[in-house]
């Protein structure tokens, strides 16, 4: 299903859950797996000093240090690397999200797998160029292929599941996410839940909606799903449609939990978020932090068609 | 003593030698070998006789030792007014003595000169503004660096930097292929937000040819994208060259005059090839100075000007805002107190002090000037290549104090700093002294603030 997978790791325990999924998937599909570590942000202009992302120390980057980092990575993933021969380790200095995206584009990868640490950004990150954002935010926004994010320990790994939740906001990016969710569901013969969370978070700014209004909108959403997605489920009938009202990310996480979802697929918008949204984090980011299963962030159709 | 493998009088101009020197972590062996480096006194004196001319000669001779340069120098101020940091003292005890002794000096002396020229002076030329005779010690130290380079007494990172320019025609190992690929990548990535965005490469007869700093494609490609977006929104007919796209000059800091010449000739060649109406340089101070002000003299251009009218980025921004090519959304102007870093190389040395004020008037509601400011502003503390030199990190960090206090005195929360070196310096300053400030280039600020013309807005989903 995926010819080439890029597993972006900090090579520390926070990525262990993601590592398990990455190696398991690669083995299952005979994919080429690139275990990719961006070891530090180059500082001091053009000099060889690099701030190591794991230790926070300033190190002088040279071949020896690189060799040492790779050795460490080999030790961390010794067992997995042994089991799956088509994998290789790469490490280089740079701004993490830049190098991950650069490599993903250059190697034409079909899937990026990342762990989500609970406190990815420290205060310094804001000031490294453009928007606030963790590596995760920047990668999911710009990646041309789906990004699978594993934040919590995953009980069942890829291939052994039964429920996929596709959360939609009816955007064009959601179309790509839908395609991905559908293909995966079809391949594994599992149930596809098409879910929409009707946003009533305006309630916090004092706006109270009439119940009739809410329910009318929910019915409308259900119709929309029927029109937009169902016709494309050619001959596939193992699906359910559900609309819940509330704060979108909360509802999605709840719904996924209630239905024992093994995977949540959502669209990540490629549009640059306004600064308020950046502070709160988009719905995808909130879901990633809270869901008990992996979340696939999809925003472009490019690599999905190849699946 | 035979010359060292790492440290010798030869400039680095092969990849093999570059990798050898790069591989010497922190320059440890390099500096060790430097302790055994001989001074070729004959060659040194011969070079001096050929290049040390009337201006410098006069400067060294007519210094009245009045001490007015003392308070003009931030090293003097930051180091508790240490008399040894008075600019006149610094230059007289190095270049002055070198001349007096007709080049008959030893290794210890040369290393002392190197330490002075690189860690006690960032060539900011502020002293030249305050000296009653206009004696410019910054320029003299630049000259001294050249003499030191010819004898092999150059800091490790500077030696590498000039090597990079010789081999890659850029300050980092970015090949033409990497560069073009990065442009294509940024185009792809940002197209969704800005439909129709293009980064035209090698377009002839464009209005603007844009040149950059190699660290942008290497580590910060979004900088390229931001520049592209701003040109796009302003409706500019612009291009970047596939070769001659890098206009910084570590070679200038290193004192490698030959490499300086090679580097600017590369950029001028691109100008000749693509025949743009104007060239715009990215937000980098020394790049502007090297390519636009000093470059023509290195390349032997009789007009003293580059082949094509050349602007620093701030000039383009001011023009775009002035003429309305870029419109600021009034609601998005900067509300918090903000100040501006006058970079030495395009303000004091380039005469562009008015332009930043004009820009700030369009984009900020609470602009606070530093004291002093404009041509009288102090160096960020990291200029002249100092930011990158590990050996002099401590001296640099002390030198930061003056700029630090300036920033704190303004009460600003944000520092606008359209210069890669100043930006780095302020970042490091923040890490060390925890001022609680933010700092930024102009591009990310503008991207957030400009109004997007209707026909360039992405289609609603």
pLDDT higher at B192 or A195: A195
DSSP H or E segment with residue A192: strand A191-199
The answer to whether the CB atoms of B164 and A46 lie below 8 A apart is yes
Give percent of chain A above pLDDT 70: 82
Taking 70 as the pLDDT cut, the residues of chain B under it are 1-2, 460-461
The answer to whether the CB atoms of A102 and B420 lie below 8 A apart is no
Q: Which residues in chain B have their CB less than 8 angstroms from residue A47's CB?
A: 157, 387-390
Residue A31: pLDDT over 70: yes
The answer to whether the CB atoms of A105 and B438 lie below 8 A apart is no
pLDDT of residue A66: 83
| Residues 6 or more apart in contact with residue A87 via CB below 8 angstroms | A23, A26, A32, A33, A34, A35, A80, A81
Contact assessment for residue A10 and residue A113, using Cβ atoms and an 8 Å cutoff: no
How far apart CA A133 and CA A125 sit, in angstroms, is: 7
Show me where the domains of chain B are located: 39-153, 167-323, 330-449
Topology, domain B39-153: Fumarate Reductase Iron-sulfur Protein; Chain B, domain 2 (1.10.1060)
* Interface probe with A: pick from B168, B186, B382, B388, most Cβ of A within 10 Å: B388
The nearest CA of chain A is from the CA of B268 a distance in Å of: 24
Residue A128: pLDDT over 90: no
The nearest CA of chain B is from the CA of A137 a distance in Å of: 14
> Which residue of chain A has the CA closest to B22?
A62
* pTM strictly above 0.95: no
Find how far residue B169's CA is from the centre of its chain.
16
Residue A40: pLDDT over 80: no
pLDDT per position as a tens digit, A244-284: 998 888 999 999 999 989 899 998 765 555 444 444 457 88
The sign of the CA dihedral B106, B107, B110, B115 is negative
How far apart CA B122 and CA B395 sit, in angstroms, is: 11
pLDDT of residue A53: 66
pLDDT of residue A270: 54
Maximum CA extent, chain B: 76
The strand ranges marked E within B150-275 are: 208-211, 238-239
The answer to whether the CB atoms of B222 and A130 lie below 8 A apart is yes
Q: Residues spanned by CATH 3.40.50.620 within chain A?
A: 4-150, 163-298
pLDDT of residue A288: 81
pLDDT of residue B457: 85
pLDDT of residue A122: 41
pLDDT of residue A16: 83
The strand ranges marked E within A24-170 are: 32-42, 49-52, 58-60, 87-93, 111-115, 147-150, 163-167
pLDDT of residue B41: 95
pLDDT higher at B133 or A302: B133
Of the options 3.30.750.24, 3.40.50.620, 3.40.50.300, 3.20.20.70, the CATH number for the domain spanning A163-298: 3.40.50.620
pLDDT of residue A279: 43
pLDDT of residue A159: 56
- B161 has a chain A CB within 8 A of its CB: yes
The answer to whether the CB atoms of B189 and A142 lie below 8 A apart is yes
- B394 has a chain A CB within 8 A of its CB: no
* SS3 labels along B54-84: HHHHHHHHHCCCCCCCHHHCHHHHHCCCCHH
Topology, domain A4-150: Rossmann fold (3.40.50)
How far apart CA B375 and CA B352 sit, in angstroms, is: 9
User: How far is CA A272 from each of CA A131, A170, B195, B268, B402, rounded to the nearest angstrom?
Assistant: 9, 18, 13, 37, 38
> Which residue of chain B has the CA closest to A126?
B438
pLDDT higher at A107 or A290: A107
* SS3 labels along A194-208: EEEEEECHHHHHCCC
pLDDT per position as a tens digit, A168-181: 988 888 888 999 99
Q: Which residues in chain B have their CB less than 8 angstroms from residue A275's CB?
A: 448
Of A303, A294, A273, A283, the closest CA to residue A176 belongs to A303
User: Where does residue B69 rank: exposed (0-12), middle (13-18), buried (19+ CB within 10 A)?
Assistant: buried
Residue A130: pLDDT over 50: no
The answer to whether the CB atoms of A62 and B428 lie below 8 A apart is no
| Residues 6 or more apart in contact with residue A123 via CB below 8 angstroms | none
Taking a contact as any Cβ pair under 8 Å apart, which residues of chain A between 228 and 287 contact chain B? 270-272, 275
The nearest CA of chain A is from the CA of B195 a distance in Å of: 11
pLDDT tier at A8, thresholds 50, 70, 90: very high
pLDDT of residue A117: 60
How far apart CA B285 and CA B349 sit, in angstroms, is: 10
**A69-78 average pLDDT score:** 87
How far apart CA A150 and CA A7 sit, in angstroms, is: 11
As a CATH number, domain B330-449 is 3.40.50
What average pLDDT does the structure give for chain A? 81
Of B456, B426, B453, the closest CA to residue B341 belongs to B426
Q: Which residues in chain A have their CB less than 8 angstroms from residue B389's CB?
A: 47
Taking a contact as any Cβ pair under 8 Å apart, which residues of chain A between 40 and 79 contact chain B? 42-49, 60, 62-65
The answer to whether the CB atoms of A46 and B171 lie below 8 A apart is yes
Choice among A147-161, A221-235, B208-222 with the minimum mean pLDDT: A147-161
How far apart CA A100 and CA B120 sit, in angstroms, is: 40
pLDDT tier at A2, thresholds 50, 70, 90: confident
* Interface probe with A: pick from B122, B170, B185, B446, most Cβ of A within 10 Å: B185
Q: Prior bond to B372 cis, omega within 30?
A: yes
The answer to whether the CB atoms of B157 and A47 lie below 8 A apart is yes
pLDDT of residue A135: 81
**A128-144 average pLDDT score:** 65
The answer to whether the CB atoms of A46 and B447 lie below 8 A apart is no
How far apart CA A92 and CA A113 sit, in angstroms, is: 18
The nearest CA of chain B is from the CA of A167 a distance in Å of: 17
How far apart CA A142 and CA A152 sit, in angstroms, is: 23
> Which residue of chain B has the CA closest to A274?
B448
């Amino acid at each position: 299903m995926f010819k080439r997978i890029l597993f972006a790791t900090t090579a520390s325990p926070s990525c262990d859950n993601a590592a398990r999924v990455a190696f398991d998937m690669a083995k299952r599909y005979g994919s080429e797996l690139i275990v990719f570590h961006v070891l530090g942000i180059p500082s001091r202009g053009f000099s060889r000093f690099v701030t190591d992302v794991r230790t926070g120390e300033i190190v002088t980057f040279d071949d020896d240090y690189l060799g040492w980092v790779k050795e460490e990575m080999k030790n961390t993933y010794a067992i997995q690397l042994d089991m799956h021969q088509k994998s290789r380790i790469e490490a280089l200095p740079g701004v993490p999200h830049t190098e991950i995206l650069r490599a993903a584009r250059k190697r034409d990868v079909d899937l990026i797998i990342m762990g989500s640490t609970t406190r990815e950004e420290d205060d310094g990150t804001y000031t490294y160029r453009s928007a606030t954002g963790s590596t995760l935010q920047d990668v999911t926004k710009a990646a041309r292929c789906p990004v699978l994010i594993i934040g919590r320990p995953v009980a069942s790994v890829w291939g052994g599941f039964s429920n996929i939740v596709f959360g939609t906001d009816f955007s064009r990016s959601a179309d790509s996410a839908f395609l991905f969710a559908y293909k995966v569901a079809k391949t594994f013969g599992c149930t596809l839940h098409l879910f929409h969370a009707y946003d009533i978070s305006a309630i916090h700014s004092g706006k109270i909606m009439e119940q009739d209004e809410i329910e009318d909108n929910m019915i409308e959403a259900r119709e929309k799903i029927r029109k937009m997605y169902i016709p494309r489920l050619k001959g596939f009938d193992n699906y359910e449609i559900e609309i819940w009202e509330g704060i979108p990310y909360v509802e999605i996480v709840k719904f996924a939990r209630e239905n024992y979802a093994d995977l949540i697929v959502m669209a990540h918008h490629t549009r640059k978020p306004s600064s308020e949204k950046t502070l709160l984090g988009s719905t995808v980011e909130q879901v990633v932090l809270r869901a008990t299963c992996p979340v696939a962030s999809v925003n472009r159709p490019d690599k999905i068609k190849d699946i | 003593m035979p010359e060292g493998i790492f440290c010798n009088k030869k400039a680095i101009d092969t990849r093999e030698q570059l990798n050898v020197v790069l591989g010497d972590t922190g320059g440890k062996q390099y500096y060790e070998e430097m302790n055994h480096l001989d001074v070729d006194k004959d060659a040194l004196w011969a070079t001096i006789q050929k290049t040390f001319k009337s201006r410098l000669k006069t400067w060294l001779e007519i210094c009245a030792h009045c001490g007015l340069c003392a308070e003009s120098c931030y090293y003097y101020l930051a180091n508790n007014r240490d008399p040894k940091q008075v600019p006149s003292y610094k230059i007289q005890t190095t270049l002055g003595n070198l001349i007096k002794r007709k080049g008959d000096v030893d290794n210890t002396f040369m290393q002392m000169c190197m330490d002075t020229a690189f860690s006690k002076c960032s060539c900011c030329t502020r002293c030249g503004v305050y000296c009653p005779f206009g004696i410019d010690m910054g320029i003299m130290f630049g000259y001294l660096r050249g003499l030191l380079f010819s004898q092999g007494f150059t800091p490790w990172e500077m030696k590498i930097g000039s090597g990079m320019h010789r081999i890659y025609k850029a300050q980092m190992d970015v090949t033409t292929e990497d560069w073009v690929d990065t442009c294509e990548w940024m185009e792809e990535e940002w197209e969704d937000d800005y439909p129709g965005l293009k980064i035209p490469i090698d377009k002839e007869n464009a209005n603007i040819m844009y040149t950059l700093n190699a660290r942008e494609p290497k580590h910060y490609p979004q900088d390229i994208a931001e520049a592209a977006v701003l040109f796009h929104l302003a409706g500019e007919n612009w291009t970047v060259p596939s070769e001659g796209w890098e206009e910084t000059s570590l070679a200038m800091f290193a004192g490698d005059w030959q490499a300086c010449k090679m580097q600017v000739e590369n950029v001028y060649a691109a100008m000749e090839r693509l025949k743009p109406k104007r060239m715009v340089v990215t937000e980098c101070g020394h790049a502007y100075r090297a390519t636009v002000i000093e470059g023509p003299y290195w390349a032997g251009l009789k007009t003293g000007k580059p082949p094509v009218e050349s602007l620093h980025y701030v000039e383009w921004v001011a023009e775009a805002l002035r003429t309305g090519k870029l419109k600021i959304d009034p609601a998005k102007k900067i509300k918090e107190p903000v100040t501006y870093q006058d970079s030495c190389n395009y303000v004091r040395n380039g005469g562009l002090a008015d332009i930043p004020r004009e820009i700030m008037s369009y984009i900020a509601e609470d602009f606070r000037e530093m004291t002093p400011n404009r041509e009288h502003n102090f160096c960020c503390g990291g200029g002249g290549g100092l930011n990158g030199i590990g050996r002099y990190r401590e001296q640099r960090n002390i030198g930061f104090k003056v700029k630090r206090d300036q920033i704190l005195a303004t009460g600003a929360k944000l520092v606008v700093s359209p210069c890669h070196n100043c930006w780095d310096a302020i970042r490091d300053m923040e890490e060390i002294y925890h001022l609680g400030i933010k700092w930024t280039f102009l591009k990310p600020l503008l991207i957030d603030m400009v109004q997007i013309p209707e026909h360039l807005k992405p289609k609603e989903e």
